[in-house]
Amino acid sequence: MIVGLGTNSVDLVCTVPTAPSPTGPASKQRLTNFRHSCGGQVATTLSALAAFGVPTRYVGAFGSDANATLIRSELERRGVDLSRAVTRDAPNRFAVVIVDATTGERIVLWDRDEQLALTEDEVTIDAIRGARVVHVDDVDVRASTRAATLARSLGIDVTTDIDRAVDGIGELVAASTHPIFSEHVAAELTGETDPERALRKLRRTHSGLLTITLGANGAVALAGDTLIHAPGISVKPVDTTGAGDIFRAGFIFGLEQGWDVARLLRFANAAAAASCQRSGAIDSIPSLAEVTQLV
């Protein structure tokens, strides 16, 4: 069982002919496509793991509106255990995702009612007991840090989705066994724009496996003192939404298989690349066979 604590979302995915600009002809564009798609950092990672045949449990908060009904139904359909999730009388988290049809790159504009925030007190040891890996994001940092700390006390590995250098993120990194950073966050935390230099600076205070995602350039990790770079897999991107979340699913799957770091990163890169060939976050999750074929 993989336990994930963090966000879920319903996204309005809007595809435009070219990247928006505040001035000029790109400042007003007709959408080429739009639709609702379920997502959220941890919800997408758990859904991908479920697609790979791994049992998953979600710890997080749903709202009480139509979006909440939609995302709950999608996670249940995909086999994610929601017995530890809570429901609040508030709108569910949502996002507007603007996708550039020429590159597949996206801009995410999101909002979440404060009533959906998880507190430290709501994270119990029973929610994560029996997990093989606990995966957390950076949205409710104190709750995530509490979950990571409890997991470590039980000897459970902890992976992260760190996409923002927010207050308290240092404590979350320290509590994790396998922190995974977006490239820009590693640079913000260390002051180093070179990924290797950033990893070696992070190594001064963390002895675990450290990983930075590099988008189309793949990923780089520091295992002990050994730097391992796995190049990205070249595909024609349709929509990069959810690629980082699905990378983390591939990473966790590799941990579960006991693979070495190089193989684990190759698989995670392939999972992310395969997802970029479809629109949406959860809707873009590839099958295990598709990922294996790309590898």
Residue 53: CB atoms within 10 A of its CB come to: 11
Name the fold adopted by 2-7+39-91+114-294: UDP-N-acetylmuramoyl-L-alanine:D-glutamate ligase (3.40.1190)
162-194 residue pLDDT tens: 988 889 999 999 999 999 999 999 999 999 999
76-104 burial string, b = 16+ CB within 10 Å, else e? eebebbbebbeebebbbbbbebbbbbeeb
Could you read off the pLDDT tens digit of each residue along the chain, which spans 295 residues? 999 999 999 999 999 999 988 999 889 999 999 999 999 999 999 999 999 999 999 999 999 999 999 999 999 999 999 999 999 999 999 999 999 999 999 999 999 999 999 999 999 999 999 999 999 999 999 999 999 999 999 999 999 999 888 899 999 999 999 999 999 999 999 999 999 999 999 999 999 999 999 999 999 999 999 999 999 999 999 999 999 999 999 999 999 999 999 999 999 999 999 999 999 999 999 999 999 999 8
Q: Max Cα separation, the chain?
A: 57
- pLDDT given at position 40: 97
The sheet with strand 9-16 has its strands ordered as 33-39, 9-16, 94-100, 106-111
Contact (CB, 8 A) for 44 and 245: yes
Query: What is the token pair recorded at 112?
Result: 């979440």
Q: Structural domain boundaries of the chain?
A: 2-7+39-91+114-294
